[in-house]
Structure 1
Amino acid sequence: MTQTDGLYLGVDVGTGSARAGLFDTEGKMVGMGVREIRSWRPQADFVEQSSADIWDGCCAAVAAAVAAAGARPGQVRGVGFDATCSLVAVDDDHRPVSVSPDGRDDQNVIVWMDHRAIDQAERINATGHEVLKYVGGTISPEMEAPKLLWLRERLPESWIRARRFYDLPDFLTYRATCDETRSLCSTVCKWTYQGHEEPSAEGSLGRWDDSFWRQIGLGELVDEGYRRIGTRVRPMGEPLGQGLSELSARELGLRAGTAVGVSIIDAHAGGVGLLGAGLDADPGQAAEQLRHRLALIGGTSSCYMAASPGPTFVPGVWGPYFSAMIPGMWLSEGGQSATGSLIDHVVFGHQAAAELGQQAQRQAKTIYQLLNERLAVLAADEPFAAKLTEQLHVLPYFHGNRSPRADPTLRGMVSGLKLSGTVDDLAVLYLATIQAIAHGTRHIIAALNAQGFDIDTLYLCGGGTKNPVFLREHADATGCQLVLPQEPEAVLLGAAILGAAASGDFGSVTEAMGALSAAGQSIAPAGGDTARYHQAKHRVFQRMHADQLAYGELMTHPNR
C-alpha cells in the first residue's frame, strides 16, 4: 500500500459527543461519525460521565466514519485521540471507580467543567508554590490536582480503590493500546507536570515536582512513585506500544497493530489543526508568524491558544506550557468557561424560546437562523447591526472567569432589561450575549499582547464558526482578522494529524500540520464607527466587572 492509499483517523471526545473523522493525505475529510455521550449532574457544579459509555461512543463513531467513507480497515494508517481534560478513575484492573456522591461506579469521570473543587483550588493557590507560575499564577478547579484532593478528602473509599487516574485523552489511548504512557499535553497543562525540566524517569520527558504534591496534601502519590498518575510521559503524536490491541481493533472495526499516537486535549487538537496553515518552513519565520496568531477553539466553552519560542508568563492565562501543542514551542492558553453553553442558556431560558422553537420547526430552520434573520430586520434602520445593543449589556461570567481574571466565583450580569419578553427582545439579548463573549476574547488578546505577543489574526474552529453573527461580532469587537480553516472540522483534523505522525508517513507533527492543514475564508473587522462603538462596549464590559466587585464589597461590609 502506498501513502496515497492511506487514511488518517481522528477521534474527538467533547462534552456531549464522541466524533470520528477519516482524512486523506491532503487533509480532506472523507467520512465522519458522531455518537452522543451521557452526563450526570448529581449536585450543583457537579458534572460526571462514564468512561465505558465514552469508549462505546468512540467505537460507534469510528464505525460510522469508516462506513461513510466506504473505507477498508487496512487503509487506516494511523489513529489520533483527543478529548476534554476530564479526570478518569479506575482500579488496578482498569474497572471504573465512582467519583460521585451517588456512589455509582459507572460515574467514574469528573468532567472538565465540574467546579466541585473550588475550595481545594483556593487552598492550593494559597501555598504560592513555584509550579503555579506555569498555570498563570492561579490553579483552576477545572484542573486535576484540586479534583484529586477533593476525592481524597470527600470520597476516601474511592480514593483508596482508585489505582489509576487518567486525563481522558490518555485513558482513550490506554484503552486503545494497553499502553499507560501519558501525554505531555495533558500532564503539563492540567496536572502541573514540568515538561521543560530535566527528566527524572528513564524514557520520560520532564518531571513531577515532589514538593508540590507533598505541600498540597497528596504526598502519597510521590511515595508511590507516581504510579497512579503516570510514570512515562511522551510528546503528542509519538507512536504508542504495538498500536491498536487485538481487543480494541475488534471493537473499533480496525486492524490490530494500526499506529496510535500519544493523545492531546481537544482544544489543543484544534490548535494543531488550525495554526499550521501557511507556516513558513524556516523555524525563525514560523515563530514570528505565530506571534501574531491566536487559535480560538469554540464549543461549550472556548479555548485560546498562542505559541511562542520562549516562555511567556501572562497573569491569569494558563501556561506557559513547554511542547504542549507544537513540539519545541511554549503554549499560552486562555479560556472562557461558558460560551456555546452560555448562548444556549440565554436563548432557551427565555420566555420567547418556545414560540421561536415552534416557528423554527414550521420553517425547517434552527432557532439561531431565525434569530439572525430577525436581527437583520431590526438592524435595517441602524447604521450598523451591533448598535442594537446600545442599552443592553451582558457580562459573560455565568460559570466564573477562566482568563484573564482567573476567578471561578464571578457571576454573569445583564444590564438594560425591559418589562417585555418578545422574540425581538430575545434576538437583541442573544446579540448582546455574543458581543459579551467577543469582548471576553478581546480581553484575553489584550492580556497576551501586554506580555509580548502581537495578536492580530484569529484562527477559528468550532460551532461558532457556522454562525455569521458570531464571526462578525468577533472580528469587529477584537479588531482582528478572522481566518477559517479550509477543513471546518479542525479539531478532528488535529487528532488525525497525530495519527499521521504516528504512522511514520511524516517526519514530525509539525511536518504533518503543514501538509494536512490549510487556510480558508478570511473576515476583516469593520473599523470606523463600529470600532468606536465596540471601544465603548469594552469600557462597559470592564466596568460591569468592577461594579460586581463593588456590590460584593457592599454586601460583605454593609455598614462601611
Structure 2
Amino acid sequence: MDSDHYYYLGIDVGTGSARAVIINSLGTICGLATNDIQLWNPHANYYEQSSEDIWSSVCLAVKAAMTQSGLKPANIKGVGFDGTCSLVVLDRSGKPISIDPESSDGENHRNIILWADHRAGEQTDKINATRHEVLKYVGGKVSVEMDLPKILWIKENLQERWNKVGYFFDLPDFLTYRATGNASRSVCSLACKCGYVPPDTSISPQKGWHDDLFQAIGLSEFISENYSRMSTSQIFSAGQKVAGLSHQAANELGLLEDTPVSSGLIDAYAGIVGTLAAKIPGDYGNMLMEQRLAVIAGTSSCHILMTNRSLFVDGVWGPYKDALLRNHWLNEGGQSATGKLIDWIIDTHPFSIHAKKLANKKGISIYNLLNEHINTLQKQQKLQFSSVLTKDLHVYPDFHGNRSPLSDPTLCGAIVGLTLDVSLDALAVLYYSTLQSIGYGTRHIIEAMNDSGHNIKCLYMSGGLCKNELFVKTMADATKCLVVLPKYVEASVVIGAAICGASASGAMPMGEDKNITLWDFMEKMNEAGQIVTPTEISNEIEYNERKYLVYLNMWKDQINYRRIIEGKTDS
C-alpha cells in the first residue's frame, strides 16, 4: 500500500454479475473481483432477479477485492455504486415483494423486473398515447425498458401486491439504500427512467413530477401520496454523498461504518465517469467534451453524449438535466441487444458446437477463433480488406427491438443471404456481418443526434465487447469516428462507480484541493488506452457506405412487409 494514495471502492451490478474494484487516487486498480448473480426467464420477454441475491453477490465480490488488494477497511475513503436500470420492488419495511405472477404466497425473492424485460408493452403504449410534454425528454416515447411502464404493469396485474408496495427503486438507488438505509434517489435514475424532469427546465420551473401525467395513466395515488413510493424527499446528483455505510451493511461488506457512499448511477452513466475525461494525445488532444460520444458496449449498448445545452432528438432519450454533472445535459441512445445478439448468432449456428471445441483446443475465445478465421479467409481470397467478405450476407440487428433512434420495441432482426453452408467459413462471415450491423446501428444513432444539432466526432468506448479488436475496428469503420479505449477496457464502468465514491468522500492526498468537482476527479483518474482510427482505404469507405444503405433499406423493408400484411399498401 502506498501512503501517498487514498483508496476508493466501486461496485457495479450488471445483467449477469456483481463486480467490485478498488482504485487509488490515480485510478490504478488495486483489487478487482466478480461474482455471478441469478437471472430467471420464466416466459418469453420476462426477465427477473432478486435483490437479496444481488446484495449477497456484492458482499462476496467486495470481500474478494479487498483480500486481493491487501488493504484494510480504514484505507477505503469512499464507496460508489452503479447498476442496470432495473425495477426493484420492496414493501414498507424494505422487504422484497415478488413481481413474478406465478410465485406463491411467501415467495418474494424474485422482486426485480430486469431492464430487458418487455412484459409492459401495453402499459408503454398507454403512456405514449397521452402525448404528454414530459415524453419529449425521452425522445418522444417512453421505452418498455423504463421503470414507469413496469410500475403501471404491477398495478394492473398484481393488485394485491401493489397495495403492499412501499418503495419502487431503480437498482442503483436500491444499492445505496441497502448500503446506507437512506431511501434517497439519484437524478440519474429518476430523470432517465421514471418520468421525472428536474426543476429549472422549460416545463419544470418548480418541481420535477407532473401530476397530470400520472393522473392520465392511472397512477393518481402517487399524487395523493406525494410520490412517497418513489421516496424523493432527497435527490442527489452523481458524486454527491448520500450518507455513510450503515452498521449492518459495513459488517456485511467488511468495511467501516460511516464510510461515505455516493449517489448511485445507471451502469452506462458510470461508464461515462470512467472514460470520458481521458486526454487524447497528438492531433486529437483538443477534442471537446460535446464531440465525445460514450459508447458502453456489453449485453446491450448505450450511447451517451454530455453537453452544456439541451437538444431534443427524436428517438433518443433526454435531454436529461443534472443526471451526471450539474448544469449539464445528457442525450442517450442505445441498442437493446449487442453482446447478446453476437452470442445468439454464434450459439444458434449449426457449426457453433464444433467452433467452440476448436477454440477450447487452441486455448482461445470463440471470438478470437472467428477473428483469426476472418483473417485467413481474407488471405485465401486475396482481398484488399476483410469487410468485403460480407458482400452477399446482410444482418439487421434489432432482434430485441429498436431502442434508438426509431424507438420501436416491435422491430425484429433479419438476415438476408443465407445458404445451406454450415461450415466455419459460414459462421465467421455471419458473425462478421453481425458486428457490422451493430456498427451501422450506432451510425444511425449518431446521424440522428448530429442532424439535431450535435457534432459527434469521437467514440469513447468501454464494456466487455471492447476486448474484441475486430468489433472495435468495425465500429470505427462503420461510424467513420475515432475510437478511444480506456486503460482498463473491461473495468471502466466499475471504475466510474469508484470515482463517484472518491467524489463523495472529498478525500484526496495531502496538498490537493478538496473542493474539486466530479469532472476534476474524472480528469485525474481517467487514462486513455488504445486509440483506433477508421479506415482510410477509399474502396473500404465506399463499401461501408453501400452496406449502410442496405442496413437502412432492411429496416424500411420490414416496415413495408408489415403494411402489406395489414393490407395498407398495394405494393
CA deviation after TM superposition for structure 1 residue 326, in Å: 2.7
CA contact (8 A) 1:304 1:334 kept: yes
Partner in structure 2 of residue 151 of structure 1: 154
CA deviation after TM superposition for structure 1 residue 157, in Å: 1.3
Partner in structure 2 of residue 368 of structure 1: 367
Partner in structure 2 of residue 210 of structure 1: 211
Per-residue CA deviations over 1:310-357 (Å, capped at 9, x if unaligned) read 111000000000011233210000000000000000001111011011
**Structure 1 residues 324, 259: closer, same or farther in 2, change over 3 A?**
same
TM-score, normalization by structure 2 = 0.94
Partner in structure 2 of residue 306 of structure 1: 305
CA deviation after TM superposition for structure 1 residue 2, in Å: 10
Structure 1 SS opposite 2:230: coil
Partner in structure 2 of residue 132 of structure 1: 135
Measure, in 2, the Cα distance between the counterparts of 1:264 and 1:449.
26
Partner in structure 2 of residue 509 of structure 1: 518
Q: Give the AA of the match of 2:550.
A: V
Partner in structure 2 of residue 522 of structure 1: 531
Structure 1 SS opposite 2:77: strand
Structure 2 SS opposite 1:4: coil
CA deviation after TM superposition for structure 1 residue 559, in Å: 8.5
Partner in structure 2 of residue 278 of structure 1: 279
Q: Give the AA of the match of 1:134.
A: Y
Partner in structure 2 of residue 57 of structure 1: 57
Measure, in 1, the Cα distance between the counterparts of 2:456 and 2:302.
15
Structure 1 SS opposite 2:530: strand
CA contact (8 A) 2:563 2:569 kept: no
CA contact (8 A) 2:307 2:328 kept: yes
Measure, in 1, the Cα distance between the counterparts of 2:268 and 2:206.
22
For the pair 1:540 / 2:542, whether they are aligned, the reply is: no
Structure 1 SS opposite 2:241: coil
CA deviation after TM superposition for structure 1 residue 200, in Å: 13
For the pair 1:142 / 2:145, whether they are aligned, the reply is: yes
Structure 1 SS opposite 2:368: helix
Partner in structure 2 of residue 233 of structure 1: 235
Q: Within 5 Å, which residues of 2 pair with 1:109-120? A: 109-120=112-123
Unaligned 5+ residue runs, structure 2? 508-513
Partner in structure 2 of residue 456 of structure 1: 457
Measure, in 2, the Cα distance between the counterparts of 1:2 and 1:261.
24
CA deviation after TM superposition for structure 1 residue 487, in Å: 2.9
Q: Give the AA of the match of 1:169.
A: P
Moved more, 493-502 or 513-522: 513-522
Provide the aligned length of Structure 1 versus Structure 2: 552
CA deviation after TM superposition for structure 1 residue 292, in Å: 1.1
Q: Within 5 Å, which residues of 2 pair with 1:328-407? A: 328-380=327-379, 381-407=382-408
Q: Within 5 Å, which residues of 2 pair with 1:6-17? A: 6-17=6-17
Measure, in 2, the Cα distance between the counterparts of 1:149 and 1:427.
43
Measure, in 2, the Cα distance between the counterparts of 1:300 and 1:76.
30
Identity within the alignment, %: 45
Measure, in 2, the Cα distance between the counterparts of 1:434 and 1:401.
16
Measure, in 1, the Cα distance between the counterparts of 2:211 and 2:71.
48
Moved more, 522-531 or 435-444: 522-531
CA contact (8 A) 2:260 2:501 kept: yes
Measure, in 1, the Cα distance between the counterparts of 2:85 and 2:445.
21
CA contact (8 A) 1:274 1:517 kept: yes
Structure 2 SS opposite 1:414: strand
CA contact (8 A) 1:205 1:233 kept: no
Partner in structure 2 of residue 195 of structure 1: 198
Measure, in 2, the Cα distance between the counterparts of 1:500 and 1:158.
39
For the pair 1:553 / 2:563, whether they are aligned, the reply is: yes
CA deviation after TM superposition for structure 1 residue 295, in Å: 0.4
Partner in structure 2 of residue 66 of structure 1: 66
Moved more, 546-555 or 228-237: 228-237
For the pair 1:220 / 2:221, whether they are aligned, the reply is: yes
Measure, in 2, the Cα distance between the counterparts of 1:65 and 1:335.
31
CA contact (8 A) 1:47 1:114 kept: yes
Partner in structure 1 of residue 510 of structure 2: none
CA contact (8 A) 1:99 1:108 kept: yes
Measure, in 1, the Cα distance between the counterparts of 2:2 and 2:187.
31
CA contact (8 A) 2:311 2:452 kept: yes
Per-residue CA deviations over 1:502-543 (Å, capped at 9, x if unaligned) read 111252211111111122211111131111100000000000
Runs of 4+ in 1 over 6 A off after TM superposition: 198-201
CA contact (8 A) 2:280 2:528 kept: no
**Structure 1 residues 211, 559: closer, same or farther in 2, change over 3 A?**
closer
CA deviation after TM superposition for structure 1 residue 206, in Å: 5.0
Per-residue CA deviations over 1:169-227 (Å, capped at 9, x if unaligned) read 000000000001100101000011111438999xx995211111111110101111111
Measure, in 2, the Cα distance between the counterparts of 1:385 and 1:108.
47
Per-residue CA deviations over 1:347-396 (Å, capped at 9, x if unaligned) read 01111011011112222211111111111100112110100000000000
CA contact (8 A) 2:237 2:325 kept: no
Structure 1 SS opposite 2:238: coil
Structure 1 SS opposite 2:274: helix
Partner in structure 1 of residue 82 of structure 2: 82
TM-score, normalization by structure 1 = 0.96
**Structure 1 residues 200, 411: closer, same or farther in 2, change over 3 A?**
closer
For the pair 1:99 / 2:109, whether they are aligned, the reply is: no
Structure 2 SS opposite 1:432: helix
CA contact (8 A) 1:435 1:474 kept: yes
